[in-house]
Structure 1
Amino acid sequence: MTIALSPRTRRRTPLLTPYPDETDTAAAEDFRREYGDDVTFAPVTVVMAAFNEEHTIGPVLRRIPASALGMPVSALVVVDGARDGTADAAREDGRAYVCDAAVNRGQGAALRLGYELARAGGARYIVTTDADGQYDIEELDRLLKPLVDGRADFVTGSRTLGRQETNDVMRRAGVHVFAGLVSLLTGHRVTDTSFGLRAMRAQVTAAVTLEQPQYQSSELLISTLARGFRVAELPMLMRVRAAGKSKKGNNVVYGARYCRVVLRTWWRERRLRAT
């Protein structure tokens, strides 16, 4: 597939500096002021990045089970410089911890901050899902089981093995194209590189390199594979958004940027293995 890059798509988004940067530090300090210095997360902690999702974040949080495979579950929402009432909506039912970052940096930056907070608070397993209601968090038991049974270190859903409700032909094709590309580059069969519902051992988030502010799902997956962690995929459903619209840009922009992240991450990991 050939993608013609416009001047806009050629513009490179700066990579994240090593954690923590000024935004991370300020957000973590505000978080500790709100919840105290000794915040303890449940063994299973669901981390969500949210940007302008005030209408969807509440229903998504209410669907998170209180326990999974006999373990308590907690939720952490990292608000990524939202300009609406996302933070207030996330705090509304009092169940979720909320870390409100003042600057919009991208989903990758928000999740990296969430991973650090969850891990520091004692989370054993970290789960991610999107704040837009596209994934079935009720499948949490099934997602966690390969981790708890010792069969995997990282588990991700797959719309290719399962089902997706979107009718966007280009994005459907892109899922297969990028899965094939990542499979070829890593030598591991992958069917879906960008499914938002994932679970991993907390130490995986400390071992991988995370520097992409956006389009971070492929960086996380490729880096996880490159570090020798065991990755499993499960058939799952991806719905259409419950409200609002995607912030990832049109198909050409999204495809070009996503491809760049895939290639950049693969090359970085290849060079690290060679040193």
Structure 2
Amino acid sequence: MTGARDAADGGAHPAGDAVDEAAASAFADEYGMKLPPIAVVIAAYDEERGIGEVVRSIPAAVAGRATAVIVVVDGATDKTAAIARECGAKVCDVPVNRGQGAALRLGYRLAREGGAEFIVTTDADGQYDSEQIPRVLAPVLDGEADFVTGSRLLGRQETYDRVRRLGVHVFAWLVSRMTGQRITDTSFGLRAMRAEVTGAVTLRQPQYQSSELLIGVISRGYRVREVPATMRLRAAGATKKGGNLVYGFRYSRVVVGTWLRERRGASASPAPGRVPGSPAKTR
């Protein structure tokens, strides 16, 4: 899912804040502010052909903890919001298309303010296997990690695009070198984390937010793990990320910009929110 804007290091935006406030208020009025322990956050833009199956595939509970599905519809022009509601999701229907990063930030906020203890993210296009949600969540629920991401290189990927496959390796190498931690997949969309982590890291990107979040949690000393997972071919619709060269250029700007920002801020403030006694190194 991709929005219209891109920035290497975009900042907070008064207009964006107003959009978020209005959307969060409408969401609270419709659903109240009490969520179960696990919130599955999905950003969706014109995904009417795939969103229903994705929502229906989310397990109702994981390890005995109930789940709720929050779909943030990012200025869609189709029936994405209506179909997600029909399938049981709690829908935050934002009238402006701002990008996946902005939609996920709003979803994180809704989950935290609703009292969710854990957040899972997945995509609206069916590329991730919802049956693997318990696998991704397990280290967080067991207190072994603060942030867990799936990895197609440790697991399996079905894409035939050699350039994209190469890009996964290149960005994994780059982020590993920058952060000093071995990472095999920087952009996998199926992730799990303690809810408070999303409020402690700096998230500004309207797009390509996966690498910003990953570099942020590593830089702030949170316990990070990767688990094997599957990247399937898109089940419906078309990718909105653009061509390989454009995507690679923009993604690299976010990676480098986030790393530089985190380095500048590292000496200014300690890592917040880490579990007491937990190691700063990732696993």
Which TM-score band (shorter chain)? over 0.9
- Residue type of the partner of 2:27? F
Root-mean-square deviation (Å) = 1.4
Normalized against structure 1, the TM-score is what? Answer: 0.92
Give the corresponding residue for 1:76. 70
* 2:129 corresponds to which of 115, 127, 136: 136
Query: Quick check: 1:18–1:211 contact (8 Å CA) kept in 2?
Result: no
Question: 1:32 deviation in Å?
Answer: 2.3
Query: Quick check: 2:8–2:250 contact (8 Å CA) kept in 1?
Result: no
Q: Indicate yes or no: 2:101 matched with 1:108.
A: yes
Question: 1:34 deviation in Å?
Answer: 2.0
Map 1:1-275; keep pairs closer than 5 Å: 12=7, 15-17=10-12, 21-35=17-31, 38-93=32-87, 95-275=88-268
Query: Quick check: 1:16–1:109 contact (8 Å CA) kept in 2?
Result: no
Question: 1:75-125 CA deviation, whole Å, 9 max, x = no partner?
Answer: 0000000011110011113x2100011110000000000000100101011
- Residue type of the partner of 2:180? G
Give the corresponding residue for 2:3. none
Distance in 2 between the 1:16 and 1:137 partners?
32
Question: 1:194 deviation in Å?
Answer: 0.3
Q: Percent identity?
A: 62
Query: Quick check: 2:7–2:207 contact (8 Å CA) kept in 1?
Result: no
Distance in 1 between the 2:9 and 2:118 partners?
30
- Residue type of the partner of 1:80? D
Question: 1:114-167 CA deviation, whole Å, 9 max, x = no partner?
Answer: 000100101011000000000011112211111121110000000011110000
- Residue type of the partner of 2:28? R
Give the corresponding residue for 1:6. none
- Residue type of the partner of 1:234? V
* Structure 2 gap segments, 5+ residues each: 1-5, 269-283
Normalized against structure 2, the TM-score is what? Answer: 0.90
Distance in 2 between the 1:28 and 1:156 partners?
27
Question: 1:28 deviation in Å?
Answer: 1.3
Question: 1:14 deviation in Å?
Answer: 7.3
Distance in 1 between the 2:246 and 2:234 partners?
20
Tell me the secondary structure at the aligned position of residue 196 of structure 2. helix
Distance in 2 between the 1:257 and 1:174 partners?
12
Question: 1:36-80 CA deviation, whole Å, 9 max, x = no partner?
Answer: xx3211101100000000110000000001110111111000000
Structure-2 change in CA distance of 1:250 and 1:219 (3 Å): same
- Residue type of the partner of 2:233? V
- Residue type of the partner of 1:27? A
Structure-2 change in CA distance of 1:153 and 1:12 (3 Å): closer
Tell me the secondary structure at the aligned position of residue 21 of structure 1. helix
- Residue type of the partner of 1:110? A
Question: 1:200 deviation in Å?
Answer: 0.1
Distance in 1 between the 2:59 and 2:72 partners?
19
- Residue type of the partner of 2:25? E
Query: Quick check: 1:66–1:73 contact (8 Å CA) kept in 2?
Result: yes
* Structure 1 gap segments, 5+ residues each: 1-10
Query: Quick check: 1:108–1:212 contact (8 Å CA) kept in 2?
Result: yes
Aligned length: 262
